[in-house]
Structure formats: C-alpha cells, structure tokens
Structure 1
Amino acid sequence: MGRVVFLLLPQLHLLDLAGPAQVFSAAADSGLDYRQSFVAESSEVVTAQGLPVRADVDWPDLDPADLVVVPGWRSPASRAEPAQPATLRRLVAHHAAGGTVVSVCGGAYLLGRAGLLAGRRCTTHHELQDELARRYPAATVLNDRLYVVDDRVATSAGIASGIDLALHLMAVRHGPALAARIAREMVVYARRNGHERQDSAMLRYRSHLSDVVHRVQDVIDERFTEALPLVELAGVARVSERTLTRLFDASTGLTPLRYQQLLRVERAEHLIGHGVAVEAAARAVGFTDARMLRRLRARARSTHSVG
C-alpha cells in the first residue's frame, strides 16, 4: 500500500497532523500495509500548541504509491521561509516520480512555494484563501471545498478537514467500505463545515443519525459492484421496501439505487484517472457496459457545473 510521510514544520498544528495520522493508523490496524514516518529539518519540532514532537531528519526512500503529507503551521502566510530549498525539491521530486503530495490547512503554502499549485485547483483554510490566491496567482484557489484533489496534489481546508481528505483517499484507494468503517470508528460522519462541498459520496451522505440507513449503506458500500435488489436491502434493515425508501430519502436525499450509482461512478472515475479504459472501468464497478456510466458521468458534470 505504501508509506505515509508527514513533513513537520515548526509551530505545526497538532490536529493537522493527528487527524490524518489516525486515519492511516486505523487503515494499518485493518490490515493494510501503511507505514507512517515523520520527518523534519530538526529532530525536535515544537507545535503551535506547545507540545514538542520528535522526528527523523533523514527521509525514507519513497515510491510512487507513497503519500507525503504537509500539515499546516501557525502563520503560514508570513514571508518567512518554513523549509529549506532541499525540502521543497523533495516534494517536487516525489510528485514528478508519480507520487501524491497532500497538504492540510496552511500546508498548501508550502506546496505553493514548491511550485506544485501552479495550474492546479486547490484550497486551504478560509482565512488564508485570499492570500494564497494573491501569492500564487497561477493556482486556482477554490473557496467552497473541504478538499480538492488535482493531478496527485491534494489540499484540504481548515484544520479538521484533513480527516475528511484522508478518508477520501482511503475511499478512492481501497473502496468506500473501508473508509466508512474508519469514519465510524472515529465518529466523524457529521461534516464539520456543512455549507462546504465535499467530493466523497460515502462521506457526503453519511451525515445523519439513522441506524437503519447506516446499516443499508454499510451493505452498499461493501457490495456496490453487485446487483442489490431493494427487497434484499429491506431485509437487511428489517423494514419494508417502502419504509426503507422513505427513510433513505429522508436521511440522504437519495434512493438506495442512486447512492449505489454514485459510489460506482466515483470508483470508475478513479480507475479512468489511472489509465483504465471507460469500458473496462464500467465493468469493474458493476455496469454491464459503458453506456450507463457515460450517462451518469454526464449527469454528475452537469450537476457540478450548475452548483
């Protein structure tokens, strides 16, 4: 699965680090081979909350499957350089080799200094967005996102949104069922920034308190590539088909079938983005051919352009 390397800068925010680290730790506890490393330019880093943390000064060898995560730090918009040029070159080299670079909150400023935001969409904390856009005009800073992923550069908004981004990365890499289990374990179904968009269907439609609907979503998350008749899902929930449809709509605004279709399209988009042909991606997520996938992708694009 790969290594997750956290780059720790002086005055880093603890939750920027701890939130995503908890997600990847939970993934490792689930049996995935995620190994976490913590690197810095000095062996001890004092956080913005006053707690000193230890780090390695030597970077591990990185593969394209690895993630490099840059947590935010206090006053990232200052003109002081938080990292040496050699550190910035490491970020650039990892991305150029096919790796993914992630920022939490103000960590986007370091990605901007490394040149990784040029020509890409990104986001950061709402109090930092305007300055990020002024400082890096070649970037497209989006003000209405919890996180943005663009060409293996992933940026997230305010401090706790690093959890949402890490769960999204889990969902696209390993499927929504694993991400849902981790989210449930961490008790983070509710979106902390409810007015902002979020690109993961698994998370977007889990911000409710219906145990019946959660149980059905668990089944759909686990088996979204299969045909799942409504009668079977109603049996899992131990309610009638009519009651399940009513509860599902009240909790998510969707039918069970529409929720399943969104999961399929998300997974297909991930496969297509990694070079899989549309026909093959359609079959891999459970469609008999690519016609339905093309219609659903077109509908999603139309919805996003309107919204």
Structure 2
Amino acid sequence: MAMSFLYKSDPVRGALWAERFAQHMPELPFRIWPDTGDTLDVRYLAAWEPPPDLATHYPNLEVLFSTGAGIDQFDFSSIPENLPVVRMVESGIVNGMVEYVTLAVLSLHRDWHTYRQQQQEGRWQTHRVYPASSRRVGVLGLGVLGRAVLERLGSFGFPSAGWSRSPQQIDGVECHAGPDGLQAFLERTDILICLLPLTDSTCGILSQSLFDQLPRGACLINVGRGAHLVQDDLLKALEAGQLSRAVLDVCEPEPLPPGHAFWTHPQVALTPHIASMTQPETAADAVLDNLRRHQQGLPLIGLVDRTRGY
C-alpha cells in the first residue's frame, strides 16, 4: 500500500522540510497542506494544529508529530486514543531556549534593566555587583529544556535547583519534587524560571500563593506558557515588592491587547514568544530520525504520555 508524509504548518518551513526529506528519505512522498494527495496514503502527519476528524479522513495514520515543543494546542478529544503523539525535541529548540534564559538571568543578575531605565532618565548611578554564587536560580520543570538551562547557568556559578512532578537526579543541581518539595524549592530561589508544560495541574501555578513563598525581591522568568501566570497576581506582587522584576516571553492572550499593563510596566520585560523556535532543518532531521525508529520498532523520542499531558 502507498504511504506518504503530510506537513500542515508554516509552508515556508515546510519547503525546507521537503528538501531534507528528499535528501534523506526520498522513498517517502512528502506533501504540504492543503495538497494532501490520497488521504488513505497518509501514514505520518506533522502539524501545529491537526485537521479535524483524523480517524475519518486519515484512517491509516500511524504517528502524529507536533511541529513545536508543546502539545497544549492539540485537542486530544479529537485525536484517536491509540494514535501515538510526538512532541518536537530538537537541538534548535534547546539551544534557543538556553540562549534566551541565559540572557534573561544575566540581565536580571547584572541589573541590566535598571541601567537601561537610568540611561533613559539621563542618570549615572552605579550599583553593587554581586557574584553569581550569591544568586540562586531555580527552574520549574526538569525536562530536556530545563536540564539544558540548568547546565548552562551552573557554568556561571549560579547555585541551581530544579522542581519537577516526579523525583529527578541531576549532577550539581538541588532537585525537589512533588507538592511536598515545592515550598523548599521556592524559599531558596532568587530567580525563578518557569519551563513547565501546560497541563490542568500547572495552569495558573504562577500565582500569589507561589510568589509569597519566594524570597522578597525575587525575579520571575516565564518561558513556559502564558496560562501558567495569573497576571493580576504578578502585578500585585511587583507593586508590593514581593517580586522585583519579571521577564515574560509568553502571555495569555497573544498578542496582549492594547493598553495592557505589561506593555509599559517599568518592572516587566516583554518579548513576543520568541525565546525558542524550531529550526526547520534540525526539526526535519529529528522527525526523520523518529521515522527510522518507528520503522525499526524502537521507542520514539518525545512520545507524549497522555495521562500526564506531556
């Protein structure tokens, strides 16, 4: 029976995927939505948002790939339960996230935002420079991205800790787990980095009750999802001095509406969800590797556990 691979996302990136597939797996026809060909031939689908009625229109589909690192944009009620779903795990996403978080942490650690404001005011004022060893960083979420971020930050000498749903062990990192370990993790964290997947249990986790457990004057970096953050609670925490600054790459909704407080807030640095993006060449290579693994009956990298939501 004939088989094909269908790509449903940015067509410009899709053209680069097509070149990669032609080079490394020419025997598998590659199609870019809406050119589906015979839908009965589609065995593999890569999408940001899958088409509706997968079971009806693509009955022979064997694997659904997300073109991004997250899968919270998927409506799993419309995806057959027996269909493997694979999130994107590729070096471009990891490297981009490490770069962004390192930039954000160093800018907070070295008072870059303060000096930028002073420049705009025409004010020349120095502030004490503290060693990295005095600034404790903590990462919520110890997946591939969280581990890579902690490894890089540790190289600067920041005391590093991480929190995850289940116990983890990482050399040089103080690991905490589960609800019982969250308070101790927060109490020792001066710069908090959110890299959690968005699930029912993590939605709204960045709230007043969490902020109150951080040391007074702590900073927040959210590179997870906008729905992790309770926006009004962040504004209150900044106003009260419980938090001193926030770097936000994700918001809810995106983009923020005109006039939203985050646009002009002096203690909030805002970027438009650009911390980490899939690189088309390395993303295509990651999917090609998974296709080979699938054909050989090997475990797929990034396979989603639906019971956990990631």
Normalised to the residue count of structure 1, the TM-score between the two structures is 0.31
Higher-Rg member (1/2): 2
Normalised to the residue count of structure 2, the TM-score between the two structures is 0.30
Instruction: From the two aligned structures, give the one with the greater helix fraction.
Output: 1
